[in-house]
Amino acid sequence: MSQQERGDDQPGRAFEQSDVNAVPAPGDTTPGGGPPTESEQLRQEIRETREELGDTVEAVAEKADVKAQAQREVDERKQQLRQGQEEAKAKAEEARERVRQATPEQARDALGQVQQQARDNPVPAAVVGALAAGLVIRWLRRRR
CB neighbourhood size of 41 (10 A): 14
What local confidence, expressed as pLDDT, does residue 1 receive?
45
- CA dist 3 and 8 (Å) reads 5
DSSP for 21-63 reads HTSPPTT---TTSSPPPHHHHHHHHHHHHHHHHHHHHHHHHHH
Q: Where are the domains of the chain?
A: 3-64, 65-104, 112-144
- pLDDT tens by residue, the chain, 144 residues: 444 444 444 444 444 545 444 545 555 555 556 677 899 999 999 999 999 999 999 988 888 888 888 899 999 999 999 998 998 888 888 887 877 777 677 777 887 887 888 788 888 878 888 888 888 898 888 887
Threshold 0.75, pTM exceeds: no
Phi, psi of 12 (to 5 degrees): 80, 0
CB proximity list for 39: less than 8 A, separation 6 or greater = 4, 7, 9
- CA dist 131 and 120 (Å) reads 20
End-to-end distance of the chain based on CA atoms, in angstroms? 89
Please check whether residue 47 is in contact with residue 35, taking contact to mean a CB–CB distance below 8 angstroms: no
What local confidence, expressed as pLDDT, does residue 113 receive?
85
What local confidence, expressed as pLDDT, does residue 130 receive?
87
- CA dist 106 and 93 (Å) reads 20
